A and B are shown apart, each in its own frame.
Chain A
Amino acid sequence: GESVGLHLPTLSVQEGDNSIINCAYSNSASDYFIWYKQESGKGPQFIIDIRSNMDKRQGQRVTVLLNKTVKHLSLQIAATQPGDSAVYFCAEAGGSNYKLTFGKGTLLTVNP
């Protein structure tokens, strides 16, 4: 299984740049994949989801890409803003009760 060390992966970008956050998932049988944003001291906030039969989905300023061959998910944020600074988690869901299994998380810092 994954290690759960005390240091989150981090990504630091300049305001206006595009950000790409990556996630490796473990269960090839998962039906849905979801990206969440979590600001400090708050609960996760839904960003975008994608079903396993798709490989790309776009939202407002965000795009999720799914590569089932290598079990990889990415979140692209266009024109990153300081308000995008947060920890981003991917989650996978499947099985009879659709429990969410969260990935490690990535801390995104946007420099003005």
Chain B
Amino acid sequence: GAVVSQHPSRVICKSGTSVKIECRSLDFQATTMFWYRQFPKQSLMLMATSNEGSKATYEQGVEKDKFLINHASLTLSTLTVTSAHPEDSSFYICSARGLADRPYEQYFGPGTRLTVT
């Protein structure tokens, strides 16, 4: 149980375009979803926290107009990188937590490798 998927696993886009990444909880209802960014050989950095049906809470320094997060249902959250630039190239990872889970518990997706050319 507690499986989280991401789609796509890899995406290449041109500078200036937008790309959407999906995060799905496959076998549980995710009341809270998290989006992380990870650069090579570095740690995971939390970008934002989203609760189903409400606006995402962004971490300091993360541009909310650039990284649009939608958590429209209890099983799906999306991250849209708008007007992507090469410096947005990174590994994006989502995680999810269900209502019945321990408060710190997060189930991680497999990640999405974004390359902006």
Contacts and interface: CB of A to CB of B under 8 A. Distances in A.
Contact of A89 (B6, B43, B46, B109): B43
Interface stretch (A11-19, A37-45, A63-71, A74-82): A37-45
B1 interface: no
A102 B44 contact: yes
Nearest to A104: B43
Interface residues of A, number: 27
Interface in B79-114: 91, 93, 95, 102-104, 106-111, 113
Contacts, number: 56
A89 B106 CA distance: 14
Interface residues of B, number: 24
B25 interface: no
B41 A42 contact: no
Nearest to B110: A43
B21 to A, nearest CB: 13
Contact of A4 (B42, B107, B111): B42
Interface of A: 4, 6-8, 31-32, 34, 36, 41-46, 49, 89, 93-94, 97-105
24 contacts: A4-B42, A6-B42, A7-B41, A31-B104, A32-B102, A32-B104, A34-B104, A41-B113, A43-B4, A43-B6, A43-B110, A44-B93, A44-B108, A45-B108, A46-B107, A93-B103, A97-B49, A98-B104, A99-B46, A100-B34, A100-B46, A100-B104, A100-B106, A104-B42
